[in-house]
Amino acid sequence: MKTLIINGSPRTQGNTAALIEELKRHLEGEVVELSAFRSRIAPCVDCRACWTTARCVVRDEMDVVYADDFDNVVVASPVYFSTVPGQVLSLFSRMQPWHCAMFFLKQPLVQHRKKAAVILTGGGKGNCEGAFHHLRAFFRMVNAHGFREHMALSLKTDTIPAWEDEAAMESVREIARWLSGDEPA
């Protein structure tokens, strides 16, 4: 079993990092973590090569996602302006080749069904509806399911750091149990 964790926080010792560490402590199998901030994944520039080839011409760490060899995908991110940070949206924009394969070429790339989970941290202002909107679109592209039922939210980190938020920590452990279990996606 292989789990891909997309880390949307720039902070290595921050709230999202604490919840990711708890997840890794309880997760079975191989874990690959992709940092949206440190990987320098380029945003899509709408070159449109993928309109006919369904492949991206840019070679960078997005190849980790394009490999499509993972069983679970977790997006763990802070909330910025009620959605995920721009670097995470840049990463999501690189799903455009898969979008083209599905909707323009009518030949969806073979993507086995995966489990999806979400970890979000927020200071306490605003809501995460924007994040859910973007996450739903991303998970649809990678054929990953179940994130609405498998979320860990720590949304008052200005006053309660995520590592002291026992409800969020327990939700993370529940996510680990679900991802590690036999229940189908």
CA distance 90 to 78: 15
Give 62-110 as a DSSP string.
THHHHT---SEEEEEEE-BTTB--HHHHHHHHTTHHHHHHHHTSS----
CA distance 174 to 26: 9
Binding segment toward ligand FMN, per CB under 6 A, in 47-55, 107-115, 117-125, 145-153: 117-125
Query: What is the closest distance, in whole angstroms, from the C-beta atom of residue 124 to ligand FMN in the complex?
Result: 5
For helices 166-180 and 15-26, what crossing angle results, to 10°? Answer: 40
Query: What is the closest distance, in whole angstroms, from the C-beta atom of residue 82 to ligand FMN in the complex?
Result: 5
Binding segment toward ligand FMN, per CB under 6 A, in 46-54, 89-97, 110-118, 124-132: 124-132
Query: What is the closest distance, in whole angstroms, from the C-beta atom of residue 8 to ligand FMN in the complex?
Result: 8
The mark string for 11-40 relative to ligand FMN (x by CB under 6 A, - otherwise) is: x--xxxx-----------------------
> Quick check: 183 and 71 in contact, CB under 8 A?
no
Using CB under 6 A as the binding rule, whether residue 163 contacts ligand FMN is answered as no
Least Cα distance to 27 among 182, 171, 184, 175 occurs for: 175
Query: Beta partners for 83?
Result: 80
Least Cα distance to 79 among 151, 171, 169, 146 occurs for: 151
Using CB under 6 A as the binding rule, whether residue 125 contacts ligand FMN is answered as yes
How many residues sit close enough to ligand FMN to count as binding (CB under 6 A)? 19
Query: What is the closest distance, in whole angstroms, from the C-beta atom of residue 111 to ligand FMN in the complex?
Result: 29
Query: What is the closest distance, in whole angstroms, from the C-beta atom of residue 20 to ligand FMN in the complex?
Result: 9
- Closer to ligand FMN by Cβ: residue 97 or 122: 122
Within 51-80, which residues bind ligand FMN (CB under 6 A)? 78-80
Query: Beta partners for 154?
Result: 121
Residue, CB closest to ligand FMN: 14
Binding site for ligand FMN (CB under 6 A): 9, 11, 14-17, 78-82, 121-126, 155, 157
